[in-house]
A and B are shown apart, each in its own frame.
Chain A
Amino acid sequence: GENVEQHPSTLSVQEGDSAVIKCTYSDSASNYFPWYKQELGKGPQLIIDIRSNVGEKKDQRIAVTLNKTAKHFSLHITETQPEDSAVYFCAASNGGKTSYDKVIFGPGTSLSVIP
């Protein structure tokens, strides 16, 4: 069945440094890859996404890359700030082919930014 793996499970960086989270997926039909940030006591919040026809996407300090051949995708956060501390989830979906789909999440990465 579909599976999304995510590494590392925990990540600690100094404020101002970069953080990188890597994911792999198993379903070759996947064509949409969102990233979510979950703060304590809240639901996940979409922070950036990328589609299979794009290799890289950037939004201010956040960038995502996708390698469809290797079934790898990554999240890069530059100039980290304490408010970036949260749990980050990668996810994969084969959405777009029908009006409905399911999104499969990775196990999460707990990011701590040390001031």
Chain B
Amino acid sequence: DAGVTQSPTHLIKTRGQQVTLRCSPKSGHDTVSWYQQALGQGPQFIFQYYEEEERQRGNFPDRFSGHQFPNYSSELNVNALLLGDSALYLCASSLSGGQRYGYTFGSGTRLTVV
């Protein structure tokens, strides 16, 4: 049973560019949450998608947007990249119904903005 799959694993972008990160949730999961993890820090909540809609959002600017597809996979888009956007981006999937079963995380996408 495949867990959470994220692509690409590493990415280098130039300041001002746009980037799209992808996530396939664990089989049977229908909710996807995205987190940003700066080096040496805890994951920071970006947003959560359920039933193809953004249900919760953290303290991130509108440059961060997302999408969830009918097969529950998800994309994270970041526009006008800043140097400070360099981080590990984690996707976590879960089963709807609140935190009854916990998150399953992917290994993340390491984004470097130069």
The count of chain A contact residues (Cβ–Cβ below 8 Å) is 29
Say yes or no: B97 contacts A42, CB within 8 Å: no
Say yes or no: B99 contacts A32, CB within 8 Å: yes
Say yes or no: A100 contacts B41, CB within 8 Å: no
Interface members, chain A 33-61 (any B CB < 8 Å): 34, 36, 41-46, 49
Which bracket fits the contact residues of B?
A: 20 to 34
Give the secondary structure class of A's interface. Answer: loop
Cβ contacts under 8 Å, A4 to chain B: 42
Say yes or no: A106 contacts B42, CB within 8 Å: yes
Cα A104 to Cα B98 with chains together (Å): 14
Cβ contacts under 8 Å, B7 to chain A: none
Identify the A interface with B (CB < 8 A): 1, 4, 6, 32, 34, 36, 41-46, 49, 89, 93, 95-108
